A and B are shown apart, each in its own frame.
Chain A
Amino acid sequence: MEHPGKLTFLFLVSLLQTHSLVTGTTPEALSVSPTSVQLTGSRQSVQLIVTGRGVNGDILDLTHEATFIAAEPSLLKITPTGMLTPLLDGTTSIQVKHGQLSDSINVEISGQGSQESVSFNHQVLPVLAKAGCSSGQCHGAPHGKAGFQLSLFAFAPKADRVSLVRQSLGRRVNPITPSESLLLLKPTMKISHQGGKRLETDGRLYQLLHDWMSEGCSVASHDTTCLGIRVFPPEDRVLKFPHIKQQFRVIAEFSDGTSRDVSHLAKYETSDPNVASVTPDGLVTGLGRGDTAVIIRYLSHIQTPLLTFVRDIPGFAWEPPPILNYIDENVDRKLRQLQYRPSELCSDETFVRRAYLDVIGLLPTPAEVDHFLESDAASKRSELVDSLLQRPEYARFWAQKWGDLLRVSRKLIGGNSVMKYNRWLQNAVAKDMPYDQFVKALLTASGSTLTHPQGNYYRTAGDTNDAMETTSQLFLGSRIQCAKCHNHPFERWTQDNYYGLASFFHRLQRRKTGREEEVLLYSTSNGEVTHPQSGLVMQPWVPTDGSIDVTEHTDRRAAFVNWLVTPENPFFAKVEVNRIWSQLLGRGIVEPFDDFRDSNPPANAPLLEALANDFTTHQFDRKTIIRRIMNSRIYQTAAKTNRFNEDDYKYFSHYTPRRLSAEQLVDALGQVTGQPKTFERVAHGTKATWLPAPDLKPHRRDKIGDIEFLKVFGQPERQSACSCERKVDTSLGQALELLNGQFLHDMLIHPENRFRQSRNAGTSFEDIILDLYRRALCRKPTDQELQRAVNYVNNSENQEGGMEDVTWAILNKEEFLFQH
């Protein structure tokens, strides 16, 4: 019989917990996982998960709201959060209650007569990973920290044991008095530790390390291997406020057929800390609306269940906006779920400027603006998109985007090769080369890089590993570099996978000829990649199919490309449509757009899938996707937010303004002032947005100290295939350049600039200012703006100086500097 006081207490607790549901869904059913528990060792534990089902079918996690009552409390310990740990052998049951609902599970406990040894591989190493000791920022760094090195995420357990037990004269461990060992003194801050406090002395993790040392720091001679982990709940879940908590349980599977709850040893993170946080014990709590992946890691295994957090927003009512194509349908579905109201459509003035900048990289001329604005054709926006896609500037601008990714630079391949490679890219874009053929041409290039400039792909990626990493990042959307030295920390990539992929590129040879910049590319029939640690020959491997047979291909790259470009490949089409989406909307559905991984889920998976299907259905035609996106309502929404979407940064309920790129800005300034910048080593009239490389100009010693405007505004050096190389953030240097930099100043004071020529031709200041607004902002000034500007000029002691000032002011407006 339970003590009455205890019963009363529990009743009161349950009442309080029930009261928290006042504003939320009331569960009408309750279940507990696992349905039965077997604890066979003294160090085992099980995390119970209590799941409720609401009247609307909502799934609720009630683990931290339920009460747990053991029929035989002496046999085990249950925490209020549902963690069971055994005490004595025996059989009992646990009743789980939540309000009026209850469920019960049976528990069998055995093996408590003897103390279970601590497993170095399965417990000590996970503790060190969970505490952050073996992370890349700490002792898991390539050279460790403070002389103590561990393998990242326990990738090399033998080396880790040596490091713990034998190095530094064995002073890291103390089997006699474990609490006096460095291994415990440092992370508990009993002595100074640069890594801070990592363990609590009364914590379970501390106890494991303590017990391992007191047991003699042993390692089982034939320990089982962990084959993988399962998590519960296994499916993606939508959690609605106020039920925004979700407890996870993690089960490890071992090579001897056993499985074990390792929830207390797993490491938990979320992919979007703005959406949810997670405790070290695996309790996720929603903070805002949206999706997040929960990254659960145990040893080198990783699982990434997805949680979506929704809440009812007061006053929100879904008013169906116009649907122009499937993009709108898919985005709207997500917006409705998350209760973000989409912004209105942008104005024609905004659209024309946006479309020109996105498709051809240039501002429209006043005549082009007027022509568009004056048309009242219902289809004028889509017609504008079509016409822009036919212009030669489209190919030049979008070839530059490829140049960024393919690292087309004088430094890497030489001046002549830059021009030829860029010309090839421009021709490929201009002729609408299907994307699969484009990629095939790049990846299987052979012969002379001068007559086959696409072969320069293998000059910018100068060896096997570089070629594989670049290919993986550009066409699989995966930053696999980490897996070169160890299993990938955020993805399922293993080191074996890394070298298996590399084997496709290993037989490619590069030979210089007597001609400057010329390299001959050819494949040999032998040459293998060996694993750097095991020494084993790596078979060619691809993510979906594993090892593939390449014997029928004399060039293994052909085998890889055949796999890569198949419409069934889950990566290829998605990566490219996501890239195009990012280039048009300023943010990818997967962001960064070259970082596809389970732990970085797409903001809208169905949308991404639909775009990819559209792409493959239309034979990988990029213009189809560009058109589709630009003709969608989503692309055409205004940047102005409403109170229902002002905190949306990733679901595309409104347009996200972004600064003009460095090259766009240079061209725009030139267009407005009539003083376009000229560049060396290119044809006269070449725009910045057509430049084949950022480093065409030969280095000149007398130009040291000359501020490079393009560099200040983020023009990439093209030394990396990462999209992050192009800087899009703002900086003090940029502000100074625009406020009083020489570049803009020279344009403003030039005697032949646009406003001076107009003035010399007798144009009034009012008309000059009208023209200025149309060129720079694609709109007319308001009456107030016009009056203010005209008055300023007229009242200036030097009217031309006044006009310079007005131009300067316009060009420093965010409305000019940003694409909105």
Chain B
Amino acid sequence: MIARHLPLQRQLSLFVLFVLLVGMSDRCFATRLRSLSTHSLSPGQTTEITLDGQELNLPYGSPAQLWTSFPATWTLSAKENNNRGKVIYELTPAPDAPLGLGAIRVCNGEGQSEARFVWLDRQPATPSKNRTTLKEAQALTLPCLIEGTTQERRPVYFTLDVTAGDSLQFDVIAQRLSIEIDPVLSIFNPSGKPIDYADDDPIVDGDCRFSFKALETGAYKIAVHDLQYRGNLPFLLRVGTFSLANNAFPLGVQIGTPINVLVNLFSHVPTTIPVHWSAAEKLGFIRSDLSNQPGTTMPFTCPINLLASARDQLVEIEPNNEIAAALPITLPCDLNGQFGEAGDIDYYQFTARKGQHVTFTPNAKRLNSPAFPHLVLHRANGEILRDEINGAAEELMLKYIIPADGQYLLSVRDLIGTAGKEAAYHISAKAQAAFTITTPYDQNLPRHRPVCAPGGFVYTEIDVIRYGYDGPIELMANGPAGPLAVDGHQIPARVNRIGLRIKIPDTFQPGMAFDLHIFGKATIDGVEYTRKLDLRNHLARDYPGIRIVPGGMVDAVTAVRTDQLFTTEMPAKLEIQRNSKANLPVKVHWTTERSLDIHFHILGLPRGLRMEATKNVNRDTTTAEFVIIANDDAELGDHDGAFVESIGRLHRGQFFREHPFQISVIGSP
């Protein structure tokens, strides 16, 4: 009211101030995890890890919890150093924890931090001594995993004794941990002369790998630095005779069938080995290491990424680089191909019906392929129907509505002429209307991380991206222990956004983080279609350098069970006469230091009763005095089912709680 009478400029100033203050409050009080003291863990081994950040530890002294994407146990360190900015844990990944990338978050009674990443490796880490001259280079014993930090304006040097003929692999892991570094590795011969350097790698992007065979015996030197010589940036350096993998072919596997792929190894001599695994059990991106595979050398942790689906996996058969030689396929299926030579084009032919929604989704980079598949849809005579060449994304999905019954062609070529055994691609080809679901929230921002107070709900919004399907979509959510009750669980037809409330059991402890796997399900053309939540766009932006985010982060929203925050004191039963009013006081007892705004309203009133007005409560106003009005036709008797609903915001994450009470309606006086 007051704001309306202010000049426009003043209104704008107040608005800006409001935004700043709210924003500041988020930054001031949000849980943030800035850095880890170590980025390397070994399955089955306990490692002390210091987490640096803000608001890690509750002000009440309750310990922060750890959420990990891998099975692990942790205990708070006995050291007297735990405070709001620093917490020390003894962290033990399970012996069977998957090797490679893992994520860690800190969770407490009021929220969760962003994820930070660690590398799980069988090789224990050795700390770097930060030697910045060739003369003082740190001696290495192979194999080794060095954990170091870059030094400003100077490389970090290591030395190792090598015998002529030895083959060695070097792998710098840094960007793969989403660290803002561009590592460069240099090798010097025993005379101190530079032999070569490694920078970007088409398989591991900004990280670097190097493989060589020593020509002479002696002490070789290695230098690691950031491309821009920035300091204090962590990195891991693996050196040894282990196998490093590039990628596999085919890139896709079918659930339930044994996995037989050819793996291209990273080596100074190109090598391909056959690999066999047991069947994939889950849909989606899977990661497997080459442990105990014939032709590989231990210790090894570099994972191979594959995509498992329920569809038939078709492997390209050359030659199919002309329209006349197009490989016939039946949709839906997954296509697995390779660009054998520069300029290679692969043609696939399929039959479609008028009105069918066809989608072709390429995958290459996420599966460690250096290829950039470019898809074009043609009529049978080659006429182009759809070319996604000018889109903005790295791998552009091609979607089209078939105009008439008949034969069509899909051509696939590499955008920049990548070729070779590693230049593999995978295409999910579907002929069905479909949808994907995601959330508009960027979970990496504190204000968007879902929270849930005891007895309450997690609230999030779901966006739908429809491809030819406009009908209703059923939403479901699974928690750690199974399905969870969901409010607002059906997205109506032609609606693309909906608010979702997921009921969290009271058994979840404060500070406990849990993944909510949200699914959408619909029947499309008589076929049941299910789609998991897809958070890839957010995660790609939030964690650059990571191709496949681990631990189900892609298809799950991580929420945190908060502390009680407040309790309510209100009558268990309200008696009211027809044609009268009755007061229902709801007193709030705060259990948090935070300044929260809680909005109360009443739901579930029996026929003939209504609430006069909603109420807001904060630290100044601690009682919500409701007035219930009963009409003359109010339903007489005792009624269960009414409840006061509280809607709170913690760092702008909404949470809902229900406070039931009984109503007894008696006759008019």
CB within 8 Å of B: which residues of A? 415-416, 419-420, 423, 446-448, 450-451, 509, 511-516, 520-522, 524, 554, 678, 680-684, 696
Contact = CB atoms under 8 A, between A and B. Distances in A.
Contacts of B230: 681
20 contacts: A416-B182, A416-B228, A420-B199, A423-B199, A446-B417, A447-B416, A447-B417, A511-B392, A514-B394, A514-B541, A515-B205, A515-B544, A520-B415, A522-B417, A681-B230, A682-B228, A683-B154, A683-B225, A684-B153, A696-B228
Given A512-B392, A513-B394, A681-B230, A520 B153 contact: no
Contacts of B205: 515
A522 B230 CA distance: 32
B416 A416 contact: no
Given A416-B228, A447-B418, A448-B200, 19 more contacts: A415-B228, A448-B416, A450-B206, A509-B389, A512-B392, A514-B540, A514-B541, A515-B205, A515-B544, A515-B545, A520-B372, A520-B415, A520-B416, A522-B416, A554-B343, A681-B228, A683-B154, A683-B229, A696-B228
Q: Indicate the member of B155, B206, B415 with the most A CB atoms within 10 Å.
A: B415
Contacts of B153: 678, 680, 682-684
A419 B416 contact: no
B227 interface: yes
B299 interface: no
B150 to A, nearest CB: 12
Contacts of A524: 389
Contacts of A682: 153, 228-229
Interface residues of B, number: 28
Contacts of B545: 515
B638 to A, nearest CB: 60
Contact of A419 (B227, B390, B417): B227
Interface in B552-566: none
B202 interface: yes
Contacts of B229: 681-684
Contacts of B389: 509, 524
Smallest CB-CB A-B distances: 3 pairs: A684-B153, A447-B416, A681-B228
Interface string B151-177: 001110000000000000000000000
A483 B390 CA distance: 30
Residue in A511, A516, A521 with the greatest tally of chain B CB atoms within 10 Å: A511
Contacts of B228: 415-416, 419, 681-682, 696
A277 B182 CA distance: 60
A350 to B, nearest CB: 35
Contacts of A416: 182, 227-228
Contacts of B392: 511-512
A451 B200 contact: yes
A509 B227 CA distance: 27
Contacts of B202: 448, 451
Contacts of A683: 153-155, 225, 229
A330 to B, nearest CB: 42
Contacts of A509: 389-390
Interface in B383-399: 389-390, 392, 394
A692 B541 CA distance: 29
Contacts of A423: 199
A446 B417 CA distance: 8
A803 B202 CA distance: 57
Nearest to B537: A514
Contacts of A514: 394, 540-541, 544
Given A515-B206, A524-B389, A683-B154, A450 B416 contact: no
Nearest to B202: A451
A200 B296 CA distance: 94
A520 B544 CA distance: 17
A692 to B, nearest CB: 9
B600 to A, nearest CB: 44
B27 to A, nearest CB: 20
B549 to A, nearest CB: 13
Interface string B193-233: 00000011010011000000000000000000101111000
Contacts of A522: 415-417
A684 B154 contact: yes
A521 to B, nearest CB: 7
A450 B199 CA distance: 9
Contacts of A448: 200, 202, 416
Contacts of A515: 205-206, 544-545
A511 B153 CA distance: 32
A514 to B, nearest CB: 5
Interface string B614-643: 000000000000000000000000000000
A680 B231 CA distance: 11
A696 B230 CA distance: 12
Contacts of A516: 544
A531 B154 CA distance: 53
B155 to A, nearest CB: 8
Nearest to B545: A515
A416 B206 CA distance: 10
Interface in B487-534: none
Nearest to A555: B417
A521 B199 CA distance: 20
B74 to A, nearest CB: 32
A416 B392 CA distance: 22
A670 B417 CA distance: 48
B344 to A, nearest CB: 13
A682 B390 CA distance: 37
Nearest to A679: B153
A554 B415 CA distance: 13
A453 to B, nearest CB: 9
Interface in B242-262: none
B225 A521 contact: no
A688 B405 CA distance: 68
Contacts of B541: 514
Contacts of A446: 416-417
Nearest to A678: B153
Nearest to A512: B392
A510 B235 CA distance: 31
A419 B153 CA distance: 13
Nearest to B390: A509
A431 to B, nearest CB: 13
A539 B278 CA distance: 59
A440 B417 CA distance: 17
A393 to B, nearest CB: 15
A690 to B, nearest CB: 13
Contacts of A681: 228-230
A52 to B, nearest CB: 67
B465 to A, nearest CB: 19
Contacts of A450: 200, 206
Nearest to B225: A683
A514 B175 CA distance: 13
A420 B225 contact: no
B413 to A, nearest CB: 10
A516 B180 CA distance: 10
A219 B418 CA distance: 60
B537 to A, nearest CB: 9
Most buried by A among B155, B343, B372, B544: B372
Contacts of B199: 420, 423
A633 to B, nearest CB: 38
B649 to A, nearest CB: 32
Nearest to B230: A681
A681 B231 CA distance: 9
A420 B227 contact: yes
A683 B194 CA distance: 16
Contacts of B154: 683-684
A419 B415 CA distance: 26
Nearest to B132: A684
Contact of A521 (B182, B394, B416, B418): B416
A423 B229 CA distance: 14
A683 B186 CA distance: 14
Contacts of A680: 153
